[in-house]
Amino acid sequence: MISMNVRRWLTLSIMTSYLLLTTTGCSVNPVSGKKEFVMMSEQQEISMGAGLHKQVLKQYKPYNNAALQAYVNGIGQSLARHSHRNNIRYHFTVVDDPSINAFALPGGYIYITRGLMAYLNSEAELAGVLSHEIGHVTARHSARQQTRGTLTNVLASVIAKQAGAGSRQLINNVAVASVRGFGRKHELQADQLGAEYLARVGYDPHNMIKVIEVLKAQEEFSTFLARSEGRQPPSYHGTFSTHPSNDKRLQQVVGAANSVRSSRTRPDNRRGYLNRISGLKYNKTKKSLGQIRLVTARPGDTFASLARRSGIPKYAAQKLRLLNGMFPKGEPRPGQLIKVVQ
């Protein structure tokens, strides 16, 4: 998903020795309703997820805020109930990590980092992240991926090493490998399913595109940083060759979700979301930890003036724009609730 600042949404699909014990067979895909050849039964998938969940929690600690965990879980559960696979139990965990990331394990284990939560600007965007990950679970992408065997070698070596090292880097490496393995086709399907689940619970499915724009802005910001510092801009193997709002396929699948939109619409709840993440840990730099705080913009406030109070070392105004979904040129409007860092 997100290497450096911008890996694409990541579905961790680590294989463990469970796989060696599994038998092959046919099962019905919950999304397509078609029979397909997969290596894992549902029960095997769930127990594999449960085992991997323990490993993930060794590497990524849950964020220590019960109210925030309950809030994210509540949103996630409401989406999962309306998914194609509401017969399994879902688990949503905010992990205490500054990277900008979300990922899903087989069997319904879904994670979002505090780093990504800081950059989201509404409850509907949070729902977009979670519903995309639910989409990977409902379409059984990891099970199908593994059936194709593309990850087998990478994962087998990881499992071998993990017995000894078990380092976080290892998990990250697997994560990157998984994303390359997933590719655009599965990512687009997860976006499509995510948009549909958003619509079913009443959120505007367009929030799926907004979330992708949040990630795209991260990419553009690191290009901006590189240029400012005279470095070669990073090249991404990622999914965003064009701007998300210009991506026709994405527009199509998200637009199609409107046809299943619930008549009980839910607002994006920007203010409610921002209040929930007020106080969230935020890394000003790798070593310096701050917190997200909210201010109401006054007439004459600019991101440059707000940045002077924020104390983010370099390019602070641009960083604040990025944080508030207004990179590269936005300015706060008087009366608008704005995230700053303290």
Residue 316 Cβ vs Zn ion, minimum distance, rounded to whole Å: 31
Binding site for Zn ion (CB under 5 A): 9, 187, 190
Q: Which is nearer to Zn ion, 185 or 248 (CB)?
A: 185
Q: Which is nearer to Zn ion, 13 or 269 (CB)?
A: 13
Q: Which is nearer to Zn ion, 110 or 201 (CB)?
A: 110
Residue 102 Cβ vs Zn ion, minimum distance, rounded to whole Å: 8
Residue 264 Cβ vs Zn ion, minimum distance, rounded to whole Å: 27
Q: Which is nearer to Zn ion, 83 or 269 (CB)?
A: 83
Q: Which is nearer to Zn ion, 182 or 203 (CB)?
A: 182
Residue 217 Cβ vs Zn ion, minimum distance, rounded to whole Å: 18
Residue 244 Cβ vs Zn ion, minimum distance, rounded to whole Å: 14
Residue 2 Cβ vs Zn ion, minimum distance, rounded to whole Å: 11
Sign of the C-alpha dihedral computed for residues 184, 255, 90 and 325 taken in this order: positive
Q: Which is nearer to Zn ion, 210 or 276 (CB)?
A: 210
Lay out the sheet containing 289-296: strands in order across.
281-283, 289-296, 337-341
Q: Which is nearer to Zn ion, 213 or 301 (CB)?
A: 213
Q: Which is nearer to Zn ion, 9 or 71 (CB)?
A: 9
Specify the amino acid at residue 266.
Answer: R
- Which residue lies nearest Zn ion, judged by its C-beta? 9
Residue 136 Cβ vs Zn ion, minimum distance, rounded to whole Å: 5
Distance between CA atoms of 48 and 46, rounded to whole angstroms?
A: 5
Residue 38 Cβ vs Zn ion, minimum distance, rounded to whole Å: 19
